[in-house]
Structure 1
Amino acid sequence: MPKNQAKMHAAMGGTPDEIEAAFYEAMQLGDIDKLMACWADEDDIACIHPGGTRLIGVGAIRAAFEAMFAHGGAIHVKPEHIRRVESLASAVHHVLETVEILTPEGPSKAHVVATNVYHKTPQGWRLVVHHASPGSPEDAAQHHQTPQVLH
């Protein structure tokens, strides 16, 4: 699918993968409107940033991202090693986020583990929960391990 067509599809509802790509692209661009278009318009949506409190609802989530964008514009984050559990009306993606940060010693990378939950709404697939926690270099190394299947 051409890039413009994929963006249009994501704006119209898309797939969980397309909404996730639009969410991370919006963070990288510092585009609050594009970022909020990824979220469901429901009272109980939730966002938890690493070390932060639980934010509930569109207003609280928008305010938190606006504050982050105001302190440096874009957030240089790249989702990697995405694992998916999907059904007809919901999808759960757990990802490793690699975040580029500036330290007194220069640019550095931090790892964040995140869970993104999507529901199929009348507007199409939308994000309902983004829960991120501090990660470690070991999290990045774990993607090479073969998943174990329990029976």
Structure 2
Amino acid sequence: MPKAKLQAATVGGSADDTEAAFYDALQNGDIDKLMACWADEDDVVCVHPGGARMVGVAAVRAGFDAMFSQGRIRAWPEHVRKVEALGSAVHNLVERIEVMTADGPREAFAVATNVYHKTAQGWRMVAHHASPGTGRDMLEQSPASTLLH
């Protein structure tokens, strides 16, 4: 059995567990553990901030491989908002990202939505969409103060 399939079987029993494994793998640059968090479906989709839409497991893997080739990524999910049902979960969050620059580490932010489906192998990510954010995104907003588009 391929290594990624073995690791996929070890991802936890909830969407929260899968999200924790995803960000842990992201921070450690472990492509196999990161891909174990994804559903093995042709329709999975990923969009990195300012990037193109990647559809399918191979494209998602290639996108993260390219990201990892640029150096270590440190990102933490914060201010997570969840909508959950029996077979799906949607997490909207702010990613606090540490970026290494010539002047040392700097903070950046992204606003992300992660979508999970419950599969025969457990909870798996089917979509990750991140957009550039700002420090203002770290401020909690009440539903009444958010703007709709």
Q: Give the TM-score range, shorter chain.
A: 0.7 to 0.9
**1:90-149 Cα shifts (integer Å, max 9, x gaps):** 0000010000012333211001000000001111110000000000111112x1x3444x
Percent identity of equivalent pairs: 60
**1:17-65 Cα shifts (integer Å, max 9, x gaps):** 0000000000000000000000000000000000001000000010111
CA contact (8 A) 1:10 1:19 kept: no
SS at match of 1:11: coil
- Give 1:70 shift: 1.5
Aligned pair count reads 138
- In structure 2, the gaps of 5 or more residues are 1-6, 145-149
Which range moved further: 76-85 or 99-108? 99-108
Map of 1:1-151 to 2, 5 A cutoff? 11-72=10-71, 74-141=72-139, 143=140, 145-148=141-144
CA distance in 1, matches of 2:61, 2:78: 24
- In structure 1, the gaps of 5 or more residues are 1-7
| 1:104 to 1:12, Cα distance in 2 relative to 1, 3 A | closer
- Give 1:9 shift: 10
Counterpart residue identity of residue 82, structure 1: V
SS at match of 1:94: strand
**1:50-88 Cα shifts (integer Å, max 9, x gaps):** 00010000000101111111221x310011010000000
CA RMSD of aligned residues (A): 1.7
- Give 1:13 shift: 4.9
CA contact (8 A) 1:10 1:18 kept: no
CA distance in 1, matches of 2:61, 2:73: 15
TM score, norm. by length of structure 1 = 0.86
